[in-house]
Amino acid sequence: MTTDPLLPVPRLAIIVVAAGSGTRLRGAAPKAFVGLDDRTILRHAVDGVFAGPLAQVVVVAPAERVGDALTDARAAAGERHDLVSVVAGGDTRQQSVAAGLHAVWADVDLVLVHDAARALTPPEVFERVVGALRAGHDAVLPVLPVIDTIKRVDAGAVVEAVDRSALAAAQTPQGFRRVVLDEAYAEASVDHTDDAALVQAAGGDVWTVAGDERAFKITTPGDLDRARALLGAEATGDGDASRPAPATVAIPRVGIGTDVHAVGGEGALWLAGLEWPGEQALHGHSDGDAVAHAIVDAVLAAAGLGDIGTHFGTDQPEYAGAHAAAFLARTRQLVEAAGFTIGNVSVQVQARRPRLSARRGEAEAVLTAALGAPVALSATTTDGLGFTGTGEGVAAFAVALVVPR
């Protein structure tokens, strides 16, 4: 790499790892190449790097995206595009960092490793990490205090509460004396989730500095909405008293679900989470509870997680004969793992029988408890028309609202 002899050559390098696929984000492109506004996550991350201390910048990208990454990195670097290079990453984050380390210039003595996914990290965090390295620490980790009460859980049961004052949430950029990081990588035999863990496993001491809320990692679709909302607030001049406060809440999402089952199954009727003695059962792989299944479809659709067949296929024997509670509890887990909270569900059943009105409150309580969010149930007959009117089958229609966290 040639650099202009008149420009300063930094002794600091920042490796920006952007080679992940973004499985949990489920975007159309690898995570770093998903747009936040008119700029990608990677572009924002490298913009942030260039707003901090002068450094050689090594971007680690998926092999098939090296060209795109170079375009973003050079645009962020502006006149100092002599400082940027892009290399292809590996299958794990650790392999990607190792690839980046190989591209660090010989006379660099401090190395920061930063997740591109922490695209909105402010320059102060970079300055704090570099400051602590210059003050003599070998390894520096930005952290945030843990706010939630933390429990140790085993197979669904709480084992104990964990003292959160002894805990901290790790962020990036993580900074290292180059020789310390090089040696730790040369020795590494197992995979670590971050570089501070790897250095510590090699016997190094890690010092902490304050992280920043804005350095959160974009992992789920909810995180993406949060990042976009923060950028939107900046663009509209957040903090300017003459303007209305911009909405920084993530935008809720709706989903729709429908299910139909024919009358004539074995055993008792199960509908809306309740057993209906004396009523004719419905056909179905599980208990044929069209109300529960319509809710599942609506909630999954709202979170962009496909539909009931995606997660509860006939190849899953544990759901054969299962009742509403099992389906709804699992749906809630799936949606929460994807970064959403369920707001509410409205479901309407069309059936000649049973008469739901007498047990509506009971059904709503069962469905609400299983889903962990309010479920409102309404019912109608269809004036004798169609298969629901003749009593050949039951149909249910649900609308769900989920909110990105």
Q: Which residues bind Mg ion (CB under 5 A)?
A: 20
For residue 40, the 8-state DSSP code is: B
The minimum distance between CB 76 and ligand CTP, in angstroms, equals 15
Number of residues in contact with ligand CTP, rule: CB under 6 A?
Answer: 23
Scan residues 216-255 and list those touching ligand CTP (CB under 6 A): 217, 219
Q: Confirm if 25 and 218 have CB atoms less than 8 A apart.
A: yes
CA–CA distance, 5 with 24 (Å, rounded to integer): 44
Query: Dihedral of CA 232/238/242/245: which sign?
Result: positive
Amino acid identity, position 302: A
Residue with the shortest CB distance to Mg ion: 20
The minimum distance between CB 23 and ligand CTP, in angstroms, equals 3
The minimum distance between CB 148 and Mg ion, in angstroms, equals 22
Q: What is the DSSP string of 220-272?
A: SHHHHHHHHHHHHHHHTTTT-TTSPPPP-SPPPEEEEEEEEEEEEEEEEEEET
Indicate whether 171 belongs to the interface with ligand CTP (CB under 6 A).
no
Residue whose CB is less far from ligand CTP, 135 or 169: 169
Q: Taking CB within 5 to 8 Å according to partner kind, which of ligand CTP, Mg ion, none is near residue 117?
A: ligand CTP
Q: Taking CB within 5 to 8 Å according to partner kind, which of ligand CTP, Mg ion, none is near residue 199?
A: none
Pairing of strands 274-282, 157-162: unpaired
Residue whose CB is less far from ligand CTP, 27 or 393: 27
CA–CA distance, 42 with 116 (Å, rounded to integer): 6
Residue whose CB is less far from Mg ion, 20 or 222: 20
Indicate whether 89 belongs to the interface with ligand CTP (CB under 6 A).
yes
The minimum distance between CB 349 and ligand CTP, in angstroms, equals 38
Q: Token pair of 139, please?
A: 């390894």
CA–CA distance, 129 with 174 (Å, rounded to integer): 7
Residue with the shortest CB distance to ligand CTP: 20
Q: Taking CB within 5 to 8 Å according to partner kind, which of Mg ion, ligand CTP, none is near residue 21?
A: ligand CTP
Q: Confirm if 283 and 328 have CB atoms less than 8 A apart.
A: no
The minimum distance between CB 352 and Mg ion, in angstroms, equals 51
The minimum distance between CB 127 and ligand CTP, in angstroms, equals 21
Element (H, E) at 45: helix 41-50
Indicate whether 86 belongs to the interface with ligand CTP (CB under 6 A).
no
Indicate whether 27 belongs to the interface with ligand CTP (CB under 6 A).
no
For residues 184, 49, 89, 200, the Cα torsion angle rounded to the nearest 10 degrees is: 20
CA–CA distance, 13 with 11 (Å, rounded to integer): 7
Q: Confirm if 196 and 96 have CB atoms less than 8 A apart.
A: no
Longest pairwise C-alpha distance within the chain: 90
Q: Confirm if 236 and 242 have CB atoms less than 8 A apart.
A: no
The minimum distance between CB 20 and Mg ion, in angstroms, equals 5
Q: Of 13, 32, 36, 55, which lies in the binding site for ligand CTP, with binding defined by CB under 6 A?
A: 32
Q: Of 3, 71, 92, 208, which lies in the binding site for ligand CTP, with binding defined by CB under 6 A?
A: 92
Q: From residue 51 to residue 70, what is the string marking binding to ligand CTP with x (rule CB under 6 A)? A: ---------x----------
Scan residues 104-143 and list those touching ligand CTP (CB under 6 A): 115-117
Q: Confirm if 293 and 396 have CB atoms less than 8 A apart.
A: yes
Judged by the rule CB under 6 A, the positions of this chain that interact with ligand CTP are 17-25, 31-32, 60, 89-93, 96, 115-117, 217, 219
